[in-house]
Amino acid sequence: MLTLSLQNIVYTKLNPITWCATAQIASPLLSLTYNCPTSSKPLAPFTPLSCLTKLYSHTFYRLDNNINSLLSARQIAQNRRRQQRKGVRLLLQLLLVKIGITETLDESQFPYRLSNSGYYVCFSHSGDVDIASSQLTDKVAVIISADRAVGIDIEIQDIAWQVAQRFYHPAEIEILADLAIYQRNIIVRWLWQFKESFIKIYQYKLAQGLGMSYAEIIPKLIASLNEDYSTDTVINNTRNGYQITILPCQQTVVVF
């Protein structure tokens, strides 16, 4: 049994009553037991490969020829999900210690809340795999707020343009299609993260949340790219009074 630990922990105070943290799961997971072409690129949601497929936020491995390898791959995927679930809860405990709160998590309903104070809690996790080296990377994120339901999304993989075209609002696609590819790739992922965060806040169904338009935000995102991609970006006066903050160095978007 591997001992779970976190590394590269970053704590961020977003306002006097809202805090978030991100980290990478440090424990090595099971090694991949099959060979994939070294030319394969990082996966994106809904992008099929001959030996490996990622579907939405869960990773599934498919092998064509070896049932033993298939079972090993399933074990890896299950172990990763368990590690990520443990990782976000460990990160929550570390964040609570950091801000001086002694609390337990109430997971009986969504959105999650702290049992005594009623503070709102939201989790996120994301995984990637380097096929050439068989190295797995899993990152976790958590946000706490005393005010209202909040959302967070950490995403370490790009979102395929074909996925955006399938799910995003036509008004967004019209703007995104005219961007340089490097700009489009970044903003498509940020939009995915906005949408994921609002899905968590309002408990939207997936297609409903992804299909909502945030076209009015895209020009602000383009401006932030032109300034400094590594700089945190704050978008105020969004719908229902929520603020969106992009933490690019942490590959994270928060809505609070």
Average pLDDT over residues 223-233: 84
Sign for the pseudo-dihedral over CA of 220, 224, 229, 235: negative
pLDDT bin (cut points 50, 70, 90) of residue 28 is low
SS3 (DSSP) at 216: helix
Q: What is the pLDDT of residues 47-87, one digit of tens each?
A: 333 333 333 333 333 334 454 555 577 887 888 899 999 99
pLDDT > 60? residue 209: yes
Q: What is the pLDDT of residue 229?
A: 77
Q: Percent of the chain, pLDDT > 70?
A: 80
Q: What is the pLDDT of residues 120-152, one digit of tens each?
A: 999 999 998 766 666 789 999 999 999 999 999
Average pLDDT over residues 213-218: 94
Determine how β-strand 151-154 pairs with β-strand 135-145: unpaired
Q: What is the pLDDT of residue 48?
A: 30
Q: What b/e readout covers 135-152, taking b as 16+ CB neighbours within 10 angstroms?
A: ebebbbbbbbbbeebbbb
Residue 84 backbone class (left: φ over 0; alpha: ψ -120 to 50; beta: rest): alpha
Q: Percent of the chain, pLDDT > 90?
A: 68
Q: What is the pLDDT of residue 71?
A: 56
Q: What is the pLDDT of residues 137-195, one digit of tens each?
A: 999 999 999 999 999 999 999 999 999 999 999 999 999 999 999 999 999 999 999 99
Strands in the chain per DSSP E:
6-15, 18-25, 47-48, 52-55, 58-61, 105-106, 112-114, 120-130, 135-145, 151-154, 233-235, 244-247, 252-255
pLDDT > 70? residue 117: yes
Contact 88, 140 (CB under 8 A): yes
Mean pLDDT: which of 42-46, 49-53, 243-247 is highest?
Answer: 243-247
In whole angstroms, what is the distance from residue 198 CA to residue 149 CA? 10
In whole angstroms, what is the distance from residue 83 CA to residue 81 CA? 5
The Cβ of residue 60 has, within 10 Å, a number of other Cβ atoms equal to: 12
In whole angstroms, what is the distance from residue 196 CA to residue 184 CA? 18
Contact 126, 49 (CB under 8 A): no
Q: What is the pLDDT of residue 79?
A: 87
pLDDT > 80? residue 89: yes
Q: Across the chain, what does the average pLDDT equal? A: 83
Residue 176 sits at φ, ψ, to 5 deg, of: -65, -35
Lowest mean per-residue pLDDT among 44-53, 89-98, 197-206, 231-240: 44-53
pLDDT > 50? residue 32: no
